[in-house]
Amino acid sequence: MNNGDALADGLFLFAILCMVTTTYALRASGYWIMGRVPLTPRVRRALESLPGAIIVSTILPIALQGGIPVAVCLVVSALTMAIVRKDFVAVLFAVLAAAALRNFAGF
């Protein structure tokens, strides 16, 4: 191994250490801050709405970039999840919708 490889390995390990430290600091500070925030009904509602907001903010750019086929699959998945409430079944129906769109609609 030459000197450049050792330097790259050191930088890689340093980057991993920085990411681990940052992740731990963010999580620990979140617990620390929430330990000092009184859980009023308003704060409780805000915390309960976070998972849905995170899902929407993750899925919306994918849907906008993917066009009609992706939007149809997301709608099929959401409707299936609302009716059946089983993750696996919702994913299965979305995959079947994607296959049908590719086969019959030419997407």
Query: What's the whole-model pTM score?
Result: 0.51
What's the confidence (pLDDT) of residue 18?
A: 96
Q: How many domains does the chain divide into?
A: 2
The DSSP result for the chain, as a single string, is --HHHHHHHHHHHHHHHHHHHHHHHHHHHHHHHHTTS---HHHHHHHHHHHHHHHHHHHHHHHHHH-HHHHHHHHHHHHHHHHH--HHHHHHHHHHHHHHIIIII--
Residue 93 — very low, low, confident or very high, per pLDDT cuts 50/70/90?
A: very high
- Owning domain of residue 93: 41-107
Same domain for 93 and 47? yes
Same domain for 49 and 2? no
User: For the segment 16-75, what is each residue's pLDDT rounded down to a tens digit?
Assistant: 999 999 999 999 998 888 888 888 999 899 888 888 888 888 888 888 888 888 889 989
Same domain for 46 and 75? yes
What's the confidence (pLDDT) of residue 3?
A: 60
